[in-house]
Amino acid sequence: MLWEKPDNPEHLFQKIDLSTDDTRGLRETAPVGLCFCGDESSAVIYARERNVHREDDTPLLIEIEADLDRIAIDGRDFLYGVFQFGDAKKATSALERLFGPEILRYAQAAWDSPDNSKRLALCDLAIHDHRVVTHHYGNKLVIAGKYSTLFRNAFKVRLPIEPSAIIRLWKPTASSEFRGSDIDFTDMVRRTWW
């Protein structure tokens, strides 16, 4: 997936007419990253259920050590949708629990804007905020994202990943331990969008 880390995020946050033109570069030249989770149970869901296809039928888990500057939240299954369609009354407490109090400055600014491009751009900034990333890494609540995907946390790590960063590689034999969710995407958003 694309790795687009905006330069000067605080300046961009203050920009009145912020849009994804400010936070996203040319797709053809953007660096790329791989998706990771911060816990094994979340990774098992993606490896054994969400990303298994006819030609890619062998789930593998790779545990790595990565520098915080190379990690961003993968917001596709939850966060971007909540920024776009979230109901502040329903979502504020849940976002704070999942991503920490720093996420709320971005989310509230997104919900206050009628401009969808600005809402997406604010999420682009939030996913790279070290405080938000660190809090999300420690999250223990199970999230039911879009399409009912269950996970605790999801990240993208900028490539390349050096071989020395790989701690272990294995084929999971068990299913995820998740039996339900603590926070559901559909409870966070306004119902008018689907």
Residue 26 lies in a domain: no
Residue 15 lies in a domain: no
For 82, the domain range is 33-193
Q: Please say if the pLDDT value at position 75 is more than 90.
A: yes
Give the chain's domain count: 1
Angle at 70 between CA 64 and CA 75, to 5 degrees: 95
Residue 147 lies in a domain: yes
Residue 133 lies in a domain: yes
Tens digit of pLDDT for each residue in 107-149?
A: 999 999 999 999 999 999 999 999 999 999 999 999 999 988 8
Name the pTM for this structure.
0.91
Residue 173 lies in a domain: yes
Residue 11 lies in a domain: no
Residue 54 lies in a domain: yes
Q: From CA 165, how far away is CA 67, in angstroms rounded?
A: 10
Residue 1 lies in a domain: no
193: confidence class by pLDDT, cuts 50, 70, 90: very low
